[in-house]
Amino acid sequence: MPDDLSAVKTGHLRIAVDIGGTFTDLAAFDETTGRLLFGKALSTHDDLPRGIQNTLDGAGVLCSEANLFLHGSTITINTLLERTGARTALLITEGFRDIYEIGRVNRPDAYNLFFSKHTPLVERALRFEVEERLLADGTTYKQLNEERVRATARTLKTLDIESVAVLLLHSYRNSAHEMRVKQILQEELPSVFVTASHELSQEYREFERVSTVAANAYVGPRVSEYLGNLETHLENKGFKGSFYAVQSTGGLFPVAHARRECVRMLESGPAAGVIGAQAVARQLGLPDVIAFDMGGTTAKAGVIENGKPLTSSSALIGGYEKALPIQIPMIDIFEVGTGGGSIARVGKGKSLRVGPHSAGSMPGPACYGRGGAEPTVTDANLLLGRLDADHFLGGQMKLDPDATQAAMKAVAAELGLDAIETADGILRIAATAMSYAVKAVTTERGLDAGKFTMIVYGGAGPLHASAIAREIGIRKVLIPYAPGYFSAYGMLFGDLRYDYVRSCFRKLGEASFDELEAIYAEMEAEGRAQIATSRVNPNDIVVSHAADMRYVGQEHAVTVDLDGDFFKQHDRAAIKAEFDRVHDVRYGTHAPSEPADLVSLRVTVTGIMRKPPMAPLPKDGSEASVALRGEKPVYFRDAGRYVPTKVYLRDRLRPGHRIQGPALVEEHASTTVVAPGDIVDVDDFGNLLIAIGGASK
């Protein structure tokens, strides 16, 4: 298969960079030699391109030698959560000014006296009505008053508006009015970021659609400016290749699209990690795995079932109670505010709390010696012997045990405990909190987590893998190659991807297959046209179909992947049976005798890109002792004391090596804790396969 880009570019490197809350990670693939290069540097949130350049320099990677730059970042989600976006206005159909604030009447807990509704990103004074109206079938009820739109635009100019969102009723059926409003705004306000709802979502549900377009407008100026600055920075460094951003689906899209549809990058880094986990699982023949990522700020979990990541058509950003819905396709990822930099504090009733506040990269954990005075999860790991002060990041970054001791003792004194008990308590709380992320994507989806293999990565993930697995009842854990760079590494396995959806309310028993196939064909043609501009070989385009379905009388639907043969054969019974199966997995019940509705049709068009090779490593017949660096005391709660623990260097481990816990496996950007009773086997590709408690594989 010819490469999608290298045939027309002079560079030989593919560079992937993921910006996290604490570290910026790099993975690069040299197409000439087949080498993988990695780099890591502290994130520079005041100037993100500087942190990226620090990472490139540290890895010895030159932009001028690259044909492809892939990028994922937390800037979009952080801008939303921190409420640091643009001064935004909303234009909405006359009479519907307040649907964004009213939202839905859902309450997660009917008896919660402290419940509070979401706070809109656009204040009421900056929401303006547009004189127009479409009916639910897309026909025009009232023509658009263009002069009134121009008058509104002139008003916005006096209010120092940076961004405008446009939501007109039923524009998913007919986008003509929205397109014209956007055109007028761009004529009157040429320097303002303008986004219309039909560009992001062509599904019904006006509250979700207005929330999505408002979020895109709110983050748009900041994200677009950042991506533009990064483009310029790369060009100044000699980069002449193609720049792609990672979407929340794990797919790639051109940076020009990312600058317009910024909200699609909400979960770009975590999604790339799941794509990397999918590649590892496929290589090893594992159909069902949990992808678990723990970095410096948060921990995330996703699921791969039957070889495919579980996806969602929407997400609640900011926690269920106060969340703002975002109606775009994304990998179903659950996130908790527990990472290596999560701060431990004493809460009400002298209770120990861990997170969600993080020390980040500045000042960072106390042990970083950058001014942090509060203990974090990383400090607890250092104090308990799980991290080595002289070998953190391969010795490039020395840790300060004295600063950790002082910070931990301050909290311990408030609790009436000693520093060791406090550090152990921090790790126990962190493991419990992180287990919620795994349960949210398994147990709450009707899946038995204990039957899955958990692939654990992120700089801090392998430190806690065994504890989290025990918390949930998982018996098999896999630590992949280079876990500390894994989200960036996963980007190298991404493909160009475009997702389309059309709301289409039909009773399954009466739907016209010719009509449905025409809608699918229209979406597929649009995706193929987009990918055609990327020089992906047309023979390497894959198209998949799905539908949102529900039983007649239900409100919410589930997404069902549909085999193309169902439509070619007009097999309604097969479609209904697949819907029943998916409904049963999700909700624990199904109704084969009840009729079903089609709600929306979905198409994913994927342009397959060449992947880095994943070749087996040579076996040398040696024992694991060749990788032994030494022995040190490590605290394990079950033992209630520090236990003599062997320390192995991962780059010296070879396929066939076996390690009995307790042990530590150190590598440049991560350390794996092997608890007493665990057994580690190194597989043919260098992955660490951990049998929790010595469970048979």
Tokens found for residue 278: 């999918």
Q: How confident is the model at residue 3 (pLDDT cuts 50, 70, 90)?
A: very low
What pLDDT is recorded for position 7? 35
What tokens were used for 397? 């970054």
Of 34-38, 173-177, 229-233, 252-256, which range is least confident? 34-38
Gap between the Cα atoms of 276 and 494, Å rounded? 8
Q: pLDDT band at 1, cuts 50/70/90?
A: very low
Distance between CA atoms of 39 and 57, rounded to whole angstroms? 8
Confidence grade of residue 656 (pLDDT, cut at 50, 70, 90): very high
**Phi and psi of 28, rounded to 5°?**
-130, 140
C-alpha distances (whole Å) from 617 to each of 256, 383, 486, 624, 651 are 39, 35, 19, 15, 12
Closest CA to 264 of 317, 190, 205: 317
Task: Assess whether the previous peptide bond of 363 is cis (omega < 30° from 0).
Answer: yes
Mean pLDDT on 162-186: 96
pLDDT digits (tens, 9 = 90+) for 482-498: 899 999 999 999 999 99
Whole-angstrom distance, CA of residue 295 vs CA of residue 231 = 26
d(CA 60, CA 414): 47
Are 47 and 12 within 8 A, CB to CB? no
The contacts of residue 671 (CB under 8 Å, 6+ apart) are: 386, 387, 388, 462, 463, 664, 665
The confidence score (pLDDT) of residue 359 equals 82
CATH fold of 496-607, please?
Dna Ligase; domain 1 (3.30.1490)
Residue 593 has pLDDT above 60, yes or no: yes
* CA separation for the pair 537, 4 (Å, rounded): 7
User: pLDDT at position 179, please?
Assistant: 96
Cα 319–chain centre separation? 15
Predicted local confidence at residue 320, as pLDDT: 55
Give the tens place of pLDDT for each residue, 58-77: 889 999 999 899 999 888 88
- The encoded tokens of residue 287 equal 């159909």
Asked if residue 92 has pLDDT above 90, the reply is: yes
Report residue 569's pLDDT band, with 50, 70 and 90 as the boundaries: confident
Can you give the pLDDT at residue 109? Answer: 64
pLDDT digits (tens, 9 = 90+) for 411-440: 999 999 999 999 999 999 999 999 988 998
Q: Cα(316)–Cα(544) distance, rounded to whole angstroms?
A: 25
**DSSP of 25-59, one letter per residue?**
EEEEEETTT--EEEEEEE--TTSHHHHHHHHHHHH
pLDDT at 321: 56
**pTM value?**
0.89
Determine which of 164-168, 213-217, 321-325 has the lowest per-residue pLDDT on average.
321-325
Q: How far is CA 470 from CA 475, 634, 678, in A?
A: 8, 19, 11
CA distances from 138 to 174, 175, 671 (A): 5, 9, 57
pLDDT digits (tens, 9 = 90+) for 373-410: 899 999 999 999 999 988 887 777 889 999 999 999 99
User: Cis omega before residue 676 (within 30°)?
Assistant: no
Q: Please, what is the angle between helix 401-415 and helix 419-441, to 10°?
A: 90
Q: Phi and psi at residue 321, in whole multiples of 5°?
A: -65, -50
CB 503 within 8 A of CB 204: yes
From 480, 474, 442, 476, select the one nearest 461 (Cα to Cα). 480
CA distances, 205 to each of 136, 469, 594 (Å): 11, 39, 25
| Per-residue confidence (pLDDT) for residue 10, from 0 to 100 | 52
- What does the pLDDT read at residue 404? 93
Min mean pLDDT across 15-29, 195-209, 560-574 is at 560-574
Q: Which of 77, 66, 81 is nearest to 27 (CA)?
A: 66
Q: What local confidence, expressed as pLDDT, does residue 244 receive?
A: 93
Q: Give me the helices (H) in 255-360, please.
A: 255-260, 268-284
Task: Name the residue with tokens 């635009």.
Answer: 153
Residue 288 confidence (pLDDT) above 50: yes
Pick the CATH number of 13-79+225-264 from 3.40.470.10, 1.20.810.10, 3.30.420.40, 3.40.50.720: 3.30.420.40
For the CA atoms of 424, 429, 433, 438, what is the dihedral angle to 10 degrees? Answer: 40
Q: How far is CA 676 from CA 358, 380, 481, in A?
A: 30, 19, 23
Average pLDDT of the chain? 90
pLDDT tens string 499-536: 999 998 999 999 999 999 999 999 999 999 999 887 77
H/E run at residue 435: helix 419-441
Q: What percent of the chain has pLDDT over 70?
A: 96
Outline where 266-356 has alpha helix (H).
268-284
pLDDT tops 70 at residue 4: no
| DSSP per-residue letters across 207-225 | HHHHHHHHHHHHHHHHHHH
More confident residue, 106 or 626: 626
pLDDT tens, 605-616? 999 988 888 888
- Residues near 413 by beta carbon (within 8 Å), at least 6 away in sequence: none
Q: Which two tokens stand for residue 431?
A: 């493991």
Q: What DSSP line would sit under 87-150, residue for residue?
A: -EEEEEETT-TTHHHH-----S-TT-TT------SS-GGGEEEES-EE-TTS-EEE---HHHHH
Residue 681 binned pLDDT confidence (cut-offs 50, 70, 90): very high
* Predicted confidence (pLDDT) at residue 565 exceeds the cutoff of 90: no
Q: Is the CB of residue 128 less than 8 Å from the CB of residue 67?
A: no
